[in-house]
Structure 1
Amino acid sequence: MDGELFPRSRTEVAPGAVHVPDWLDARAQRTLLDACRAWARPPAGLRTVRTPGGGTMSARQVCLGWHWYPYGYARTVVDGDGAPVKPFPAGLGELGRRAVTDALGTDAAPAGSAYDIALINFYDGDARMGMHRDSDEDSDAPVVSLSLGDTCVFRFGNPRTRTRPYTDVELRSGDLFVFGGPSRSAYHGVPRVHAGTAPPELGLTGRLNITLRVSGRSPDAVTIMGDSPS
């Protein structure tokens, strides 16, 4: 935000977990938002995620490359319309590698075009995400998280428990958060979204979170099973 009394700066929240404010400029945010709107259209579009216990996640989701469902990955929307998952764009893989390099350094970036999963979550003002770990992948490559739209409180914890210690970080539109290394399996969640805080020029009501991951699996693999939500 221009003209802030205390400008935000790059922060290492935990070992291997780095917040980079304003990483995406206004043009890049708009381009990514337009792409998200196209990906959200059916088939294999934005859906409500239902948990095995019969509940629903308040954040709605669309997947690229691999389709995530509780608690694994498939090539089709097995808990929705059954359509093949939309392909993972090469440009997102390049964006993921650049994000890791900028946040953690060149040595932390996975080799080649390894990023092959995008989970895109849409939060309205009432949506939340409980504390969880991203542990359904067969890779320990860093997770890349990009924010568009409304500001949220992002709670970043530790690998051992859903409870304290944790740090609350304010993520605004255009912010980057990367976590890998000793923080790759840390619990994290979104306890609050500040409705109506998106940049007016973006034209988005709500918050979009684009999470990029490395599956660690062959493109010919059918399913990846895990034990934690996205």
Structure 2
Amino acid sequence: MEEELFPRERLQIAPGAVHVPDWLDAGSRRDLLTACRAWARPPAGLRSVRTPGGGTMTARQVCLGWHWYPYAYARTVVDGDGAAVKPFPAWLGELGRRAVADALGPAAVAAAPYDIALINFYAGDARMGMHRDADERSEAPVVSLSLGDTCVFRFGNTETRTKPYTDVELRSGDLFVFGGASRRAYHGVPRVRPGTAPPELGLTGRLNVTLRVSGL
């Protein structure tokens, strides 16, 4: 990507919600992508998520630590191949803790370790409707890491799926953390911009790695 006239700066989008551009360096992006490709393989690999209403999410997903399905957690892929969920690696938890410390300060780092990863893959036409991360018992901040194509990330309020909300451009390597007063805010991805991934990454589409503390 060509050098920009004005470098992107970190922004507080709402109380407890911070966007940090280019948080992952080039080597970390490649390493995380390599890990995601391994996690996506079966068993307990990348799957399409079906909603209780009979629909199918356009973003496909794989889970680590705990398996999420609408709207609960399990230790096996109960809505897929039934395999045991892949383990959550300690290094990923340390990455999450460092992300929270960098974005919100050391005092915001939860005492309990991160133990859930939801990894969503977005093809060019994939979307994610406005929703809250509300199936965890912990109020620890949510960590979101982006790889590949740029997306429009819509960050809203805690009361409604509608306005007020703020649209944020998330690019490959960006970090977004939300906790505190914004922990239960509605958020979604109304648009992915195909073909915007850095060519050197070798990824077509967008990967979003979301880290959470279950409290389970």
Structure-1-length-normalised TM-score: 0.93
Question: Do structure 1's residue 76 and structure 2's residue 76 form an aligned pair?
Answer: yes
- Write out the 4+ residue segments of structure 1 that deviate beyond 2 Å after TM superposition: none
Q: Distance in 1 between matches of 2:3 and 2:121?
A: 29
1:82-119 CA-to-partner distances (Å, cap 9, x unmatched) read: 0000000000100000000000000000115x100000
Q: Cα distance, 1:6 vs. partner?
A: 1.2
SS in 2 for 1:29: helix
Question: Do structure 1's residue 111 and structure 2's residue 111 form an aligned pair?
Answer: yes
Write out aligned runs for 1:48-87 (5 A).
Answer: 48-87=48-87
Q: Which amino acid aligns with 1:106?
A: P
1:186-219 CA-to-partner distances (Å, cap 9, x unmatched) read: 00000000000000000000000000000011xx
SS in 2 for 1:34: helix
Match of 1:221 in 2: none
Q: Structure 2: where are the runs of 5+ without partners?
A: none
Q: Structure 1: where are the runs of 5+ without partners?
A: 218-230
Q: Distance in 2 between matches of 1:74 and 1:2?
A: 44
Q: Distance in 2 between matches of 1:111 and 1:82?
A: 31
Q: Distance in 2 between matches of 1:8 and 1:14?
A: 18
Q: Cα distance, 1:2 vs. partner?
A: 5.5
Match of 2:158 in 1: 159
Q: CA RMSD in A?
A: 0.7
Match of 2:214 in 1: 215
Aligned residues: 216
Match of 1:12 in 2: 12
Q: Distance in 1 between matches of 2:3 and 2:54?
A: 47
C-alpha spacing 1:2/1:100, structure 2 compared with 1 (3 Å): farther
SS in 1 for 2:181: helix
Q: Distance in 2 between matches of 1:40 and 1:175?
A: 21
Q: Which amino acid aligns with 1:134?
A: D
1:26-79 CA-to-partner distances (Å, cap 9, x unmatched) read: 110000000000000000000000001110000000000000000000000000
